[in-house]
Amino acid sequence: MSKGEVLILDFCFSPFCMRVKIALGEKGVEYESREEDLFGGKSELLLKSNPIHQKVPVFLHNGKPLCESTTIVTYIDEVWPSPPLLPACAYDRAQARFWADFIDKKVFDAVGNIWRSQGTATESAKNEFIEILKQLEGALGEKHYFGGDSFGFVDILAIPLTSWFYAAEKFGGFKVEDECPKFSAWMKKCMQKETVAKVYPDPEKVYEFVAMMRKMQGIE
Ligand code: GS8
């Protein structure tokens, strides 16, 4: 459904960019993706469009920029209402926003704490990460997806972050599947969705990217 031009300032390993691409995929909206060189030099358009954080994703709708992936996914859901990503009931919508906020505040940082750490610190970072996943498993309960029977807002925010889990597993010496089987089953279900599979990076490549970042940061 066309409502003008959509451009994403993108980065292939960014889970935050992936959120935007999955949301657009769910809505059937076509877009242009422009890969940013985050290390060699950000584009003028990125610096001008996101002067505050200077990060991707930037979402340009008919040339007007929006930043921060959760804000962008919310905007996409309002501009292209079908199919809805948020539940119809106000209480369920508020619950979805609660878990979205929890995921935003906890998950990516917890993954980073594992791959940025060494020695005994890795063990406690790993335990904290598993604790967060168990809390998410509690929110999932017996449902197929966070929102119930259909893939929605919270799933779209959460599934991209899992593309970094393999790297966390390798550096942390554990397996999400062994620790949190229900979360792992949810991951597999989401990855079967075409809109996810199309933009989900190869976890092995993410691992190589993380290994490079560790070297750059003098961690090894
Ligand atoms: C996070 C974006 C982000 O971290 C969101 O959009 O939800 N809260 C934001 N983007 C990273 C790439 S992904 O790790 C980024 O652009 N980094 C470049 C930089 O920090 O200079």
Please say if the pLDDT value at position 1 is more than 90.
Answer: no
Superfamily of domain 6-79: Glutaredoxin (3.40.30.10)
CA dist., res. 73 & res. 89, Å (int): 19
Q: What is the mean pLDDT of residues 45-59?
A: 98
User: Which residue minimizes the CA distance to atom 16 of ligand 1?
Assistant: 55
Here the tokens at position 132 are 């967060």
Q: What is the pLDDT of residue 3?
A: 83
- Which pLDDT tens digit goes with each residue over 162-216? 999 999 999 999 999 999 999 999 999 999 999 999 999 999 999 999 999 999 9
Pocket of ligand 1 (CB under 6 A): 11, 14, 16, 38, 54-57, 68-70
- Which pLDDT tens digit goes with each residue over 160-176? 999 999 999 999 999 99
Q: Ligand 1 centroid to 54 CA: how many Å? A: 8
Q: What is the pLDDT of residue 4?
A: 86
Q: What pTM does this model have?
A: 0.97
Cα 134 to Cα 58, 103, 131, distances in angstroms: 31, 12, 5
Q: Which CATH number fits domain 90-216: 3.20.20.140, 1.25.40.20, 1.10.3720.10, 1.20.1050.10?
A: 1.20.1050.10
CA dist., res. 164 & res. 187, Å (int): 12
Q: From the alpha carbon of 108, which atom of ligand 1 is closest?
A: 14
Q: Ligand 1 centroid to 114 CA: how many Å? A: 18
Sheet of 64-67: strands edge to edge?
Answer: 32-35, 6-10, 58-61, 64-67
Alpha helices in 116-164 (DSSP H): 120-140, 153-158
Where are the domains positioned within the chain?
Answer: 6-79, 90-216
- Which pLDDT tens digit goes with each residue over 59-89? 999 999 999 999 999 999 999 999 999 999 9
Angle (deg, nearest 10), helices 69-79 and 15-27: 10
Q: How confident is the model at residue 134 (pLDDT cuts 50, 70, 90)?
A: very high
